[in-house]
Structure formats: C-alpha cells, structure tokens
Structure 1
Amino acid sequence: MPSREPEEPEQGAEPEPLGPETLTWRFFGDWRGVLLAPWAGAMQNMHPGLGAGVEEHSRFFEERWERLFRSLYPIGGVVYDGPRAARTAREVRGYHHTIKGVDRHGRPYHALDPDTFYWAHSTFFMLTVLVADRFGPGLSEAQKRQLFEEHVRWWRMYGMSMRPVPRDWEAFQAYWERMAREVLEDNKATRDVLDVRYIAKPPALRRMPDVVWRLLRGPQARFTLWYTVGLFPPAVRERLGYRWTVRDERRLRRFGKLVHHAWKLVPRSRRFHPRARAGWEREAGLHAAGAPAVETPARNLPLPEERDWPQHYSPRV
C-alpha cells in the first residue's frame, strides 16, 4: 500500500481530553494490557509502512521490555494526562517525524502518513476492547460503540487528519476486516515480535534465578503465542499460517474468565500503569492538576548514546 507524505495536522479548537467517566480510562491503562503486547506488536508490524519502519529504525528486539514499558508512559499520557494530554499527544506525534524511507519492495513509507498512524491507533483501541471483552467483564454492543466514540476523541488529541477515521463502529468493523484481508502482510518484523523463545526476564521477575527462567521460558513462549494467535482476526491467522480450533476457542475463553476473576483480587491501586494511576489520583484530588507528569524510571531509558535521538521518548530522570 503506497504511503503518502504526512498531511498538515487539522487546525481547530483544543480537543477535549478523555476523563475518568470514559470506558477507555477504565481499561486502557490496566496492566492486563501487557498480556496483549505481542498481539499489538504483531498487528501493528503487519502494516507495510509500520513493519518497514520498525525493521529500519527500531532497536525494539534488542530491548523489548525496556521499549515496551517506557512507551507506555507517553502513549498512556495521551489518555490520562488530563489538562496536558494534548501536549503529550504532540510529543508522541513528534517522535515519528524522522521515521520514513523506502521499504524492500520499493514502496515509500512515513510514520506520520495518516493511514499508517491511524492503523497504530486503531490497534490500541482494539487492545482496549479485547482487554475488556476477553480478559474482563465483557462488553455490550453499546459499550463497544462508546469505546469507538472515545477512540475518535483520543485520535483528535494528535491533531492528525480525520480522513482515515471510520464514521461509526459498524464502519470501523468493516475497516478492520478489510485491513486484515487486503492490507496486512506477513513480514520479518511481525515474525520477530511473535518469537519470544529467548526473551529476557520481565522486570517483575528480576529476582527469579536465571536457571529457573530458562526452564519456564519455553512453555511461557508457547502459551503466549497460542493465546495471541487466538486473538488475531481469522484473516490474520490464515495469512500467518496458524490454525485455530473450536477447542482452542473454548480454552481461550476459560483462560480469559480466569484472568478476569483473578484480577478482582488485585488491589485497585496496583491495577494500573503508573501514568494511568497518576491520572486517577489527580482526578481524586490527590495530586494538583499542574503536578509534573510521572515519567519512566531510568532502567527503561534507551542506550546513553541514543537518548537524544528524536524518535525516542527519553525524559531526564
């Protein structure tokens, strides 16, 4: 799919940030979303422009956990930063200015092409839907429509063209299906995301002995790939050559219910990413509206020699 140069951002009144009354606030910053990180990475990278950008401009596969956890801060901030959310969105957009080139098929790409940038945004929207619907309490059609409308407000924060945004939830479903069937590709960036056989220990398990992690890593990788495949649209599974049976679907639904009920035992203060938690606490009056944003800890920063690169979120911490 050819990629155009980025269009001029739409001008107008400052967009209205999302707030605690929204379903997006309730589910997007939830730590259960980390379960869907391979799903989101694969769905994004299957887009020709996104996949090429990752292959040519990213060190994601050398620093998976660090990149994932630091990216959650600015991306989450577009949802949870309240009065400063539009500024956070402009910062996120700015990280993508230099990500452009020509892929191995001779197709030009630019990360700020509205169609490309919207595809990434649509995967975050659908991640929110899946967290709530497959690993949470479930969603009615009315709630899915509400989340769709909220994702449009979320998109407006970036100041990007509204041209690629479907008109309603039904049109979005047609868009999602068309992308899965006609646009997404099997490529190296996608396969690399799905290959977690040798992934490093996640930060939460840093005290686990290395030998124990090596024993667990293989089964964990197979299980992660299995449920990730189950969450793909059927056309994506077919493109990537995976099978999915009725029995697999029943098992995935049982796993989702287990996660949902186990999550009720987690204290509310521990359910959300720090940037999301800061938003909830600000709305509860525990922090001033102008308090500094919560930033990633130093352990997640890029390599020292890369911290001033324009494509990196790299706060002075």
Structure 2
Amino acid sequence: MTAAALEQHRGTRPERRPFEPGSRMWDDVGLVTFSLTAGSAFLLQTMEPSIAAVVDEHSTFRTDPLGRAVRSLASVMMWVYGGDEALAEAERLRKMHATLNSTDAQGVKHRALSSGPWAWVLHTGVFAFTEGNKYFSSDKLTDADKEAYYQETVQLMRNFSVAPKEIPATYAEWLPWFEDQVENHLAVTNVAYDYLKVIRNIAPPSQIPAPLHPLWRAVTLPVGRLQYFFTVGTTPESVRARLGLDWTAKDERALRALGWVIGRTVPVLPERVRYFPIAYEARRVERDRARLRKIISLRPV
C-alpha cells in the first residue's frame, strides 16, 4: 500500500510542514556523521537513468566538486532546520530542477522532475541514514526507530511535493521496494564512475592558484581516499559488484573498526563541533526560545 492509498483510507490529505525539535531528523541529520554516507546516496542517484542523464549534462560535480558538495549539504540542512524557510527551499529546488531536462545517447528524454527520479533522491536518504547508523553510531536503531524515521521522510517527501504513488506507506514496505529498485531499475552509468573518480581525487577550487595545486592535492589525498572508502563500503553489495568495485573482508573489518571509533567519539564532542553550522545554530536558537518561553510563563500578572 502506498502512502497515497493509506491517506485516502484514513480520509486525510498530505500536509506540507517544517520539522521541529523532538523529531529524529532534528537530532540526527545535522550530525557531521551524516556526510559519511552522503557519498553512497549520491552514487545510487547517479545510477538512476534519468538522474544520471540530467546530472551528466547539467551538474557541476566534475568542475566544482567541493562547491557542489557544500551547496548540497547546506540545502539538506535547510530541509530540516530551516523552519518555514525549509518549505521555501523545497520550492526553490523544484523550480530550479523544472528546467533540467536531457536527452541521452539513445534519444530517450529525461526530466529531473519526473516523479520516480524526484522521489529516488529522497529514498536514497533513507538508505544512507540507516546504513550510517549501522556503521557510525553506538545507538543502534530499533525497528520502531526505523519506522519513525521513515515516517518523517514521508513528511519530507510531502514537503518536496513527491507524488504519493512513489511513497511506500511503511518502512517494512519500503525495504523490499528499495531492494527491487536497486536490482531492477538502477543501471551502470559513466556518471557513477566519474563521481567515484571525483571524490577520490578532490579537484582544487577555482580560487586556489595553479602553483598551489600540488600542495592542495597532497593535503586532500588522504581525505579523498577516506571519502572513497566510506562511499564504497556503505554502498549495497550488489551495486559494488555491478560497478566492479573491490571490497574485501579486510576492508569491511576496517570500516567497522573506524565506525566503532567514530560512533563513540562524536557523541562526546561539543555540540558546535558534532553538528554542521546551520543545524547547530538552529538548535541553539530553539534552546534560547525555550528559555524565553519559560521566563514568560513565570512572569507576574
């Protein structure tokens, strides 16, 4: 049963609304560990045929990979922590993608706002979140936690005007749906291989003078290798096999060991360090508002 059918059964209509404190997304999406599985999410997106065609023609991920990554991360933070501006950000992205169309080598036309591809971007986020928790968190998700997070993602999809037919009603229904998409809809694309090259060898920003490029590459080489390692390691095994990506038992043990350390280190870091800036400031502002509400409630009347 899709979310649309469930809502029709309940007699309710989808409502667009921003996220608030107390939600799973509010607590988890802004953590720096979010970025550790963002790579595998984008890799899965580059294997969706329409997304691959549009990205191939319009994206700056090859020419400005760092800038694109920073802009994308800031946008995701707005989805959760932007308040009313979160809905405006969703509309901005829909408007921007409305003109991003492409025709592939076989003459097939692709639209960024086609319902399936538009939904797939957010579905990869569900996978990335649960996979990130599996490797990089000491607080493992229960089935109930996964369901609660998925329902929040359903709300996020409503905020992005995803077609209800593209939304399984529950996490239990989403799992086989996602596996079917991975096995039967994704394709090996040149864009996927280009993306893997880009994250492994991070190109210098245009602001960096050419004489400093060797220094840039020397400094970022370890970062690129680690980013590639995390991306490949958190990508579904069947996808790794189709792309011909090597992943050994030794690699898996190393990933789990790194994840164990990260999962126990990040929670004890200061909030300013463990959250990305937009998330941290939103959380700080909300605490200030809560204190103000408390003082107002205590005022003499």
TM-score (structure 2 length as normaliser): 0.82
The residue that corresponds to 1:38 in the other structure is 39
**1:152, 1:240 → 2: CA distance?**
30
Identity %: 28
The residue that corresponds to 1:17 in the other structure is 18
The answer to whether structure 1 residue 284 and structure 2 residue 281 are counterparts is no
Once the two structures are superposed, residues 136-155 of structure 1 have per-residue CA deviations (whole angstroms, 9 ceiling, x without a partner) of: 22211211111111100111
Would you say the 8 A contact 1:230–1:252 is kept in 2?
A: yes
Distance 1:167 1:273, change over 3 A: same
The residue that corresponds to 2:175 in the other structure is 173
Would you say the 8 A contact 1:38–1:193 is kept in 2?
A: no
**1:75, 1:218 → 2: CA distance?**
26
Would you say the 8 A contact 2:36–2:230 is kept in 1?
A: no
Distance 1:13 1:146, change over 3 A: closer
Q: Return the offset for 1:169.
A: 0.6
Q: Return the offset for 1:12.
A: 5.8
The residue that corresponds to 2:93 in the other structure is 92
Would you say the 8 A contact 1:129–1:147 is kept in 2?
A: no
Counterpart residue identity of residue 51, structure 2 = L
Distance 1:93 1:75, change over 3 A: farther
Q: Return the offset for 1:222.
A: 3.7
Q: Which runs of 5+ in 1 are unaligned?
A: 1-10, 203-208, 288-317
SS at match of 1:16: coil
Once the two structures are superposed, residues 52-99 of structure 1 have per-residue CA deviations (whole angstroms, 9 ceiling, x without a partner) of: 101011222111111111222233212112233222211121111001
Q: Return the offset for 1:201.
A: 5.7
The residue that corresponds to 2:102 in the other structure is 101
Q: Mean alpha-carbon deviation: is it higher for 175-184 or for 190-199?
A: 190-199
SS at match of 2:231: helix
1:137-176 alignment runs, 5 A limit? 137=138, 138-176=140-178
SS at match of 2:98: coil
The count of aligned residue pairs is 274
TM-score (structure 1 length as normaliser): 0.78
The residue that corresponds to 1:118 in the other structure is 119
Once the two structures are superposed, residues 147-192 of structure 1 have per-residue CA deviations (whole angstroms, 9 ceiling, x without a partner) of: 1111001111112321101121111111211111111111111111
The answer to whether structure 1 residue 261 and structure 2 residue 261 are counterparts is no
Would you say the 8 A contact 2:37–2:129 is kept in 1?
A: no
Q: Return the offset for 1:236.
A: 0.6
CA root-mean-square deviation? 2.7
Structure having the higher Rg: 2
SS at match of 2:110: strand
Once the two structures are superposed, residues 114-142 of structure 1 have per-residue CA deviations (whole angstroms, 9 ceiling, x without a partner) of: 11011001112322223333212221121
Distance 1:131 1:26, change over 3 A: farther
The residue that corresponds to 2:28 in the other structure is 27
